[in-house]
Amino acid sequence: MKRRTFLTGTLLGAAGLAAVPVGASAAPVTVSSLDALQKAIDRAVPGDRIVVADGTYTVPSGSALRVSGKKGAGDAPISIVAASRGGVVLQGERGFVFSDSSDIVLSGFAFRQSTTLEIPANSSRIRLTRNDFKFADVSGLDWVVVRGDDVKIDRNRFHDRTTEGIFVVLDGADAKTVAKNLHLFRNHFSGHRYTGDNGGEAVRLGDSARALLSAKAVVEHNLFERCDGDPEAVSENTVRYNTVRDSRGGIVLRHGNHSTVEGNYLLGGAEGIRVYGNDHLIVNNYLGGLSGRALVIGSGTTRDHHSGESKEERRGNDACDRAVIVHNTLFGNKGTLSGEGRDHAPQDVVIADNLLVASAGSLVSMGKTTGFTWQGNILWGAASDGTLPTGGYRRADPLLRQESDGVFRLAAGSPAIGAATLKSTSVTEDIDGHPRGSARDVGADQYTTSAPVRRPLTTADVGPNAA
């Protein structure tokens, strides 16, 4: 499971935490010591809000802040918040430890621990919001591990490490289970300069043992900068509207089926999107200026993973079958669209209405495939066409213009306008959030004079101070 990928996917402000729903309990309780904080947690009832005074607090070795048997409510969580964002620095070996708890919010802390923050399988609906995570740079330490269902991790900053280990891991109670419905959004992941080949993902959704399990996680509106491992995922996840900049890692559907990768910007790094497994939708992504492989349709050591296979077989690659790859723009990458050479070739993949532009190499270098459908693609640039059938594309200058955010979009009069051909897949918006309408354009961008609703993310859009 562990391979180089970004998704295996802000400066701290002063006062003014975002509003957290509060029930009809008493006024907020302010504490200024760890003992007082633990007592307030032990007494907390739904709707309580515990405010920790700004300062640096060191949890003694062997101790922890225990949230045990505490049950908030959906509209009245138990909220434990810093007086100001980043104003409470929590040091020591261990911080918060959850057990048999639900509807708990942790907000505004600067976490500086040397052991994992775990949300166990017996705890659900936990929210980590507007925190700053910079754990000890210990090899093999995963910073946040999610085993419970319906967890939200939003508007946090994860930053600055050099060792093996992962910022956020989606796991389960055991190898036969996986946490459901993780929502990971508006986070800033930066500065994971890991030099090894495996184990340095920014985000990992599951692992090889869970290859056939359905997590239904949503990873959206996150910014990944200088992250050198690949985010990896198992089945039925949605990875959308994220921006990956200057990172060696890309987005990898390493295991599983029925996932969607939509509307992501991968800019100026190395790897792009790599796809294994069955029935994925890869739509409206912009891959620009990548020094490695932009889009890889993976071959397999096995045709399909199945419930009786050995542990070693499960670790292998599942060939990509029946993916739909539509309305993507691949611009100025060293390797544009390519395949691999394992025994089981990808099959029955639809590659339609994509825009491929490069100045060197081959635009398509697929190797062996079975039952591919190529249609409506536009190719341009000095790069050779490569290995695709002549009826599946045409060569035409798409008349791209570079805008202030660095993205190349269609200009008026482009032959890509209204030229899309695929009718079987509904694509209602483009990467910028503009409606496609009935006459869809080739590539990720639908031509319009209106300003984009979504652009590549910047640090102002994510992290503790994001809207």
* CATH assignment at residue 191: 2.160.20.10
Round to whole Å and give the CA distance between 204 and 246.
19
Does 198 score more than 90 pLDDT? no
Round to whole Å and give the CA distance between 242 and 288.
14
What is the average per-residue pLDDT within 248-268? 94
Residue 181, phi-psi category: left (phi > 0), alpha (psi -120 to 50), beta (remainder): left
- Give the confidence band of 14 by pLDDT, cuts at 50, 70, 90: very low
Classify residue 87: in a domain, yes or no.
Answer: no
- Give the confidence band of 195 by pLDDT, cuts at 50, 70, 90: confident
* pLDDT (tens digit per residue) in 434-458: 999 999 999 999 999 999 999 999 9
Classify residue 46: in a domain, yes or no.
Answer: no
Classify residue 237: in a domain, yes or no.
Answer: yes
More confident residue, 112 or 17: 112
Classify residue 104: in a domain, yes or no.
Answer: no
Classify residue 359: in a domain, yes or no.
Answer: yes
- Give the confidence band of 209 by pLDDT, cuts at 50, 70, 90: confident
Classify residue 332: in a domain, yes or no.
Answer: yes
Classify residue 82: in a domain, yes or no.
Answer: no
> What is the structure's pLDDT at 312?
81
Number of domains in the chain: 1
Residue 331: domain span: 130-461
> What is the structure's pLDDT at 25?
52
Classify residue 145: in a domain, yes or no.
Answer: yes
Percent of the chain with pLDDT over 90: 85
- Give the confidence band of 152 by pLDDT, cuts at 50, 70, 90: very high
How does the average pLDDT of the chain come out, rounded? Answer: 92
> What is the structure's pLDDT at 196?
77
The pTM assigned to this predicted structure is 0.93
What is the average per-residue pLDDT within 15-23? 40
Does 20 score more than 70 pLDDT? no
Does 17 score more than 50 pLDDT? no
More confident residue, 23 or 219: 219
What is the average per-residue pLDDT within 391-407? 97
Most confidently modeled range among 7-11, 43-47, 175-179: 43-47
What is the average per-residue pLDDT within 76-100? 98
